[in-house]
Chain A
Amino acid sequence: AQSVTQLDSHVSVSEGTPVLLRCNYSSSYSPSLFWYVQHPNKGLQLLLKYTSAATLVKGINGFEAEFKKSETSFHLTKPSAHMSDAAEYFCVVSQYGNKLVFGAGTILRVKS
């Protein structure tokens, strides 16, 4: 079965500094991986997805993630944090039947 582990429940960065949100996955076959962002009391927005093409995936709002099979990781990064990036981020793996398995989430706080 597929599973996702987000290594940090909370991450705090200063505005303008890099962001790193860590995610490890477990999958019995080549997975599809996603990062979603959720702002308070809002739905989820797709940031980016990996579907076995390029291992470095670029998403919206300057985010990118690198799929590393040897490390079973799919960490989310951004060179320079903005105040509007403060939100909760979910790493997600797609399961058979198009079910999505969510990580526990990482709350990103951006300090001014």
Chain B
Amino acid sequence: GAVVSQHPSWVICKSGTSVKIECRSLDFQATTMFWYRQFPKQSLMLMATSNEGSKATYEQGVEKDKFLINHASLTLSTLTVTSAHPEDSSFYICSARDPDRGEAFFGQGTRLTVV
């Protein structure tokens, strides 16, 4: 079964509103989680690295004030898309690495559509 759960799986929101996406590691503690974005017919691009108890590390070109990341516990990271616009519509995927299994597990992804 899934070891990383991402919620919601899809969401439609109006322009200007904010959307929160949750990523949970179900059976291991993840000090680090990753957030990716995937445009249609393109590969996954790392947006940011979420660190438990500290600030996230954003990749170049990613607006940290627009994509707020909170990693309040060892099993939960959230990504909030603030003041969403249609160009933010995309598929967002989180991942967490299980240090014991040495493997990164991915959430199911969230399809965000901003209208």
Could you list which residues of chain A lie within 8 angstroms of chain B, going by C-beta atoms? Answer: 34, 36, 41-46, 49, 51, 90, 97-105
Contacts and interface: CB of A to CB of B under 8 A. Distances in A.
B34 A99 contact: yes
Contacts of A36: 106
Contacts of B105: 46
A93 to B, nearest CB: 12
Contacts of B49: 97, 99
A90 B44 contact: yes
Interface of B: 4, 6, 32, 34, 36, 42-46, 49, 91, 93, 95, 97, 102-109, 111
6 contacts: A41-B109, A44-B95, A98-B34, A99-B34, A101-B46, A102-B45
Nearest to B97: A98
Given A99-B49, A100-B46, A100-B95, A43 B103 contact: no
A99 B43 CA distance: 15
Contacts of A43: 4, 6, 93, 106-109
A49 B104 CA distance: 11
